[in-house]
Copies of this chain bind each other. A is one copy, B any other.
Amino acid sequence: MRNAFIAKLEHGAELTDADRVALDDLTRLARKVGPRQDIVRQDERPDTAHLVLEGFACRYKTLENGSRQNVSLLLPGDICDLHVAILDVMDHSIATLSPCTIAFIPSATILHLMEHHPRITRAFWWSTLVDEAIMREWLVNNGQRPADQRMAHLFCELLVRLQVVGLADASGYELPLTQYEIASTLGITLVHVNRTLQSLRAADLVEYKGRRLTIPDVERLNAYCDFDAGYLHMTERYDAMWRKSKVV
């Protein structure tokens, strides 16, 4: 799983072996972090970027009344805060959800990579843009779809994102989230997550037992929530993969 990261970046640029070595080096900066730990807190001025190697993490914001909204999920292979040097203070927090392995990358290292590896720079840019695209889709998802489709859409997105880094097979993946965490991702209540999950199960759209999510019929789930993976911009390579599995 170590190189989930590189596997993902390959979608954004044609890397050379030298690039791969340089990227692989980053994994030396790995550290284990327990579940539910803040990595960076709002208002701080971090001087390292972060790369998730194992586990699920997230960006989130909390408001007065204590309610919390996750604004993105960080999966293995996701790198964040490449821009460390540009914005003044964090406007949100980053925390682990499950136990994680995370590489802490000094901003100097990022800058060095950017100077000497144009393809990596491009891949970093690409990765940032994909993150943005995902946020846009979440805005649409959370704004326009009813809870059941909304949840289905999230599951579809995670399937693709995890497949890209080899952490999902054709029909399912480990999903180490509590219902509360799903709730604060989808902008609905914990209680309602529970009921929604049951309705998806009842419709045979998903199974979800013991942290493992299984999708009996991916096509059907996609159709159910109007999911189109285009916004993930993993097309080229992913498309090939996808078509293969689609030929049934």
Q: Which of A29-37, A125-133, A155-163, A210-218 contacts B (4 or more CB under 8 A)?
A: A125-133
Cα A188 to Cα B69 in complex, Å, equals 18
Q: Smallest CB–CB gap between A248 and chain B, Å?
A: 24
Chain B CB within 8 A of A235 CB: yes
Are B135 and A132 in contact (CB-based, < 8 A)?
yes
Are A139 and B138 in contact (CB-based, < 8 A)?
yes
Number of interface residues of A (CB under 8 A): 44
Q: Which of B43, B83, B135 touches A129 (beta carbons < 8 Å)?
A: B83
Cα A101 to Cα B10 in complex, Å, equals 38
Known contacts A231-B91, A233-B91: A135-B140 contact under CB 8 Å: no
Which residues of chain B are within 8 angstroms of A131 by Cβ–Cβ distance?
132
Are A63 and B139 in contact (CB-based, < 8 A)?
no
Chain B CB within 8 A of A67 CB: yes
Are A125 and B86 in contact (CB-based, < 8 A)?
yes
Which residue from chain B places its CB closest to the CB of A236 in the assembled complex? B88
Cα A64 to Cα B117 in complex, Å, equals 42
Which residue from chain B places its CB closest to the CB of A149 in the assembled complex? B63
Which residues of chain B are within 8 angstroms of A139 by Cβ–Cβ distance?
69, 71, 135, 138-139, 142, 187
Which residues of chain B are within 8 angstroms of A20 by Cβ–Cβ distance?
none
Known contacts A87-B233, A129-B87: A67-B144 contact under CB 8 Å: yes
Q: Given A63-B145, A135-B139, 12 other A-B contacts at CB below 8 A?
A: A69-B140, A83-B125, A86-B126, A87-B126, A87-B130, A91-B136, A92-B136, A92-B231, A132-B135, A139-B187, A142-B142, A143-B187
